[in-house]
Amino acid sequence: MRLTGWALPELSPPDDDTATPSEALARYAAQSGRFTVNGRAPLHVDYPQQRPALREHFWQRRDAEYSGFTVIADLAYPDGYMEVRCANSTTEAMARGRESWFLPDPARHTDLPDADRRYRVIGNRDVNGFLWLGATDAMRLKMACEAYCGAPLFGRNLQVLDWGVGCGRIARHLAPGIGDGFHGCNIDADNVSWCAAHLPGRFAPSKLEPPLPWPDATFDVIYGVSVFTHLRREWEQRWLAELRRVLKPGGVLMVTVHGQTAIDFAGLSPTEHHALQDRLAREGLVVTSSNNQLDGFVDHPDEYVNVFHSPDYIEREWATWFGRIVRLPGYLFTHDLILATKAP
């Protein structure tokens, strides 16, 4: 199997900026050993390769254009997934899931939501991206949860909630391992119905505003991907209180926010980049624009917006409801992952 992509060089470049393209490529060639497939060295690695477009997109990262790779490996899906890893020696133990991408066996995923349902979840209709990004997010969440808790996620009869399940982009990869304890909810009732008809677990529609349809202290783990990236501060405050309500004592919350990583990936000009960065540092939570992906399928569509969070804001504001707050920058692509436990 031939895999292509890009991975930013691990080592900081030297102070001089006079290297020719050939010299720059040679500078990072030794890093080809960072790649493994299913825990083994690939049959062939070609790294780095020139990717001129990355220099324009990641202008703030020197030598970003020398990030391309081609990996050739045997086609194999042990336990249903092919794991492609690009290791980084500076990655902290809890964040190591960020180094891996997971490609699911397509033969196991023939029952998929239609293109319009997928669009309302990921903003495009690409079926391959829906599968491998969903698998990658799911496996990374599992790895982060296990590193944070020091215990496996599967096989413990846990009650787990996918808050914002959509059409099961992540749930289809986690629900089978959790079983009857898996639950999902979403403000898009049509997508919830699809999940209930096609995926294991229990699914229920929810509203943009609390409460959730479960009693106090129901869940051991709650995860929510790309939910707090779309809620204004007043809605966020209400949902933090509600998520704490339905978590068991000592329960774990895993949710994503947009921060510096998302700013770097946004393709902004230097002026726009620094302006948003400065505004985020001042305000803590910044609403940048509206989002129309769910128009026609939710109440209060004008309240569904695009939001950025600063680390200081998370530490300060979320500590009212949760303790042991850990932030993993860029853990789910452009999203920072926040892990926290229910405060006493």
SS3 of 146-201? HHHHCCCCCCCCCCEEEECCCCCCCHHHHHHHHHHHEEEEECCHHHHHHHHHHCCC
Residue 165 domain-assigned?
A: yes
Instruction: Judge if 311 and 225 occupy the same domain.
Output: yes
- Whether 68 and 163 map to the same domain: the answer is no
If asked whether residues 167 and 289 sit together in one domain, one would say yes
User: What is the pLDDT at residue 27?
Assistant: 87
One domain for residues 264 and 183: yes
Same-domain status, 184 and 328: yes
Q: Do the domain assignments include residue 234? A: yes
Q: Are residues 224 and 320 in the same domain?
A: yes
Do 176 and 323 belong together in one domain? Answer: yes
Beta strand 44-49 with 100-104 is unpaired
| Within-domain flag for 169 | yes
Looking at residue 200, what is its pLDDT? Answer: 97
- ∠ at Cα 164 (158, 165), nearest 5°? 65
Q: Which of 46, 77, 108 is the last residue of a domain?
A: 77
Tell me the HSE value of 339 on the side-chain side, using a 13 A CA sphere. Answer: 21
Kindly calculate the radius of gyration of the chain based on its CA atoms and give it in whole angstroms. 20
Least Cα distance to 243 among 226, 228, 222, 258 occurs for 222
Q: Are residues 14 and 157 in the same domain?
A: no
Per-residue pLDDT at 224: 98
Closest CA to 166 of 121, 226, 102, 223: 121
Burial of 16 (C-beta count, 10 Å sphere; 0-12/13-18/19+) = exposed
Quote the domain boundaries for residue 29.
2-77
Residue 13 lies in a domain: yes
| 124 strand-pairing partners | none
Output the pLDDT for position 295: 46
Q: Which of 29, 54, 77 is the last residue of a domain?
A: 77
Domain count, the chain: 2
Last residue of a domain, one of 51, 77, 103: 77
Q: What one-character DSSP code corresponds to residue 98?
A: G
Do 39 and 151 lie in one domain? The reply is: no
Q: For residue 135, tell me if it sits in a domain.
A: no
Assigned domain for 210 exists: yes
pLDDT tens, position by position, for the chain (344 residues)? 999 999 999 866 565 667 788 988 998 999 999 999 999 999 999 999 999 999 999 999 889 999 999 999 999 999 999 999 999 999 999 999 999 999 999 999 999 999 999 999 988 999 999 999 999 999 999 999 999 999 999 999 999 999 999 999 999 999 999 999 999 999 999 999 999 999 999 999 999 889 999 999 999 999 999 999 999 999 999 999 999 999 999 999 999 999 999 999 999 999 999 999 999 999 999 999 765 554 455 565 566 689 999 999 999 999 999 999 999 999 999 999 999 999 77
d(CA 293, CA 296): 9
Same domain, 59 and 207: no
3-state SS class at 11: coil
Domain assignment of residue 6, yes or no: yes
CB distance 31 to 13 below 8 Å: no
Strand partners, 327: 338
Residues 61 and 177 in one domain: no
3-state SS assignment for residue 80: helix
What is the model's pLDDT at position 290?
Answer: 66
Looking at the fold, whether 72 and 190 belong to one and the same domain comes out as: no
Cis status of the peptide bond prior to 205, with omega within 30 of 0: no
DSSP letters spanning 225-290: SSSGGG--HHHHHHHHHHHHHHEEEEEEEEEEEE-HHHHHHTT--HHHHHHHHHHHHHHSEEEEEE
- The CATH number given to whatever domain includes residue 193 is 3.40.50.150
Q: Does residue 98 form part of some domain?
A: no
